[in-house]
Amino acid sequence: MTIQTRPAVKILVVDDEPDLEPLMLQRFRRQIRDGEMRFVFARDGREALSKLEDDLEIELVLSDINMPVMDGLALLAALNEMPRLLKTVMVSAYNDMLNIRIAMNRGAYDFVTKPIDFDDLETTVRKTFRELDTLREARKTRVQLDEIHAELAVAAAIQQSLLPLPLGEDSSLDVAAMMLPARHVSGDFYDYFHIGDRHFGFVMGDVAGKGIPAALFMAVARTVLRAQAFQGATPDRCLSAVNRVLLPQGAAETYVTLFYGILDLESGKLVWTTGGHTPPWIVPADGLARQLKNNCSFMVGMFEEACFECAETTIHPGDTIIVYTDGITDAENPKGEMFGKVRLSALIRDIHEASAAGMTGRIVETIRDFTAGAPQADDITLLAVRFNGRQ
């Protein structure tokens, strides 16, 4: 019993010799019986084009060069214009090497000579089969890649839509942020929002992982935290709520580090907590920047017993809070050196007089100069909040 491993290839034989059709059908009767090959015949190039137009299953054309009405070279030129998967093998006399060379230069896949050696023809046909399989798989892969890129573009657009809009007119704050994904979509995120008239909340998160799975995990974390924040929950309670929701989602394999702070726009009191995230820098107007000390915290979405503690500090008018993900400090140059905390702190001191947008822009620009084109291994996200105080 013959096991067919691939669909039969339909072959169009184009030749004006009437004896060729019964000869081909006799010679390849076993292959026809076993479903490996199917044959269609035409007497000249014009008839061949008509059959190709009516039969989209034809993938291989076996064509003589010397024919009436439309010869093989003219047919080959027409075949090259067809937007379909098609391979052409030319047939000509042994001493007609000039036309064979022209045919090969014009895109013929291979050739056989007359009188036809049917063993050689079968070898050539099977080789063409394999080439067709390769091209078909490549086309399928290309289509899949195009679909993936389209989905990634949609995911990136959705992620961008989740980012907060500019604050508009609010003289008490100057806020700017930048996010540079290592892939199409980021596992980092930032958020900020007013809570009533007096308080301002701002968030920075970094999901373990990159790409669409991390982005989905991020979207869940953002949604839960916002829902809790607008109900007036303190930062520690917000992170606890996110932890409860994310635990079954990540199954202890995916987690997120989080910073969440609430700034009192009248008193300047900042209440904040971290879930395994690097604490922010406070940049006073005099430039003597300091990094807040990290309170005891757990990664969010990793441990059932995770607990989070709030800390407090006072922010004065003119101070800027800078929150970032470790894609900044872990950025590497071509030598494998990391940008690191020391370089970041020196840079923050140098740019302390800049606006929030000026600070974020300078930091990202410096990171790019430092990495000098080295591949970006991690998402880079940065948020600057300058407190101007209320008049």
In degrees, to the nearest 5, what angle opens at C-alpha 330 toward C-alphas 329 and 335? 115
Q: Which of 8, 5, 18 is nearest to 38 (CA)?
A: 8
Residue 19 is given by DSSP the state T
CATH value of 9-141 in 3.40.50.2300, 3.90.650.10, 1.20.140.10, 2.160.20.10: 3.40.50.2300
Domain residue ranges in the chain: 9-141, 164-387
Angle CA(375)–CA(379)–CA(381) in degrees, nearest 5? 130
Helices (H) and strands (E) in the chain, counts: 10, 15
pLDDT tens digits for range 299-340:
898 888 888 999 999 999 999 999 999 999 999 999 999 999
Which of 203, 170, 164 shows the shortest CA–CA distance to 386?
170
pLDDT band at 95 (very low <50, low <70, confident <90, very high): confident
Say if CB 9 and CB 86 are below 8 A apart.
Answer: no
* pTM > 0.85: yes or no: no
Question: pLDDT tens, 351-363?
Answer: 999 999 999 999 9
47-83 confidence digits (pLDDT tens): 999 999 999 989 999 999 989 999 989 999 999 888 8
pLDDT (0 to 100) of residue 173: 94
Q: Report the alpha-carbon distance of residue 239 to residue 226 in Å, rounded.
A: 10
- pLDDT value of position 4: 46
- Per-residue pLDDT reduced to its tens digit, 132-153: 888 878 777 777 766 656 655 6
Backbone angles phi, psi at 213, to 5 degrees: -55, -40
Q: Which residues contact 349 (CB under 8 A, 6 or more apart)?
A: 283, 287, 288, 289
Region of 340 (left: φ > 0; alpha: ψ -120 to 50; beta: rest) is left
Q: What is the pLDDT of residue 51?
A: 92
Contact 241, 224 (CB under 8 A): yes
Residue matched to tokens 């995916």: 254
Angle made by CA atoms 391, 228, 321, in degrees to the nearest 5: 40
> What is the CA angle 383-384-390, rounded to 5?
135
pLDDT at 147: 67
In CATH, what class is 164-387? alpha beta
> What residue has token string 């940049």?
283
Counting Cα atoms < 13 Å in the Cβ hemisphere of 355 gives 7
251 by DSSP, 3-state: which? coil
Specify the amino acid at residue 138.
A
**The pLDDT value given to residue 311:** 94
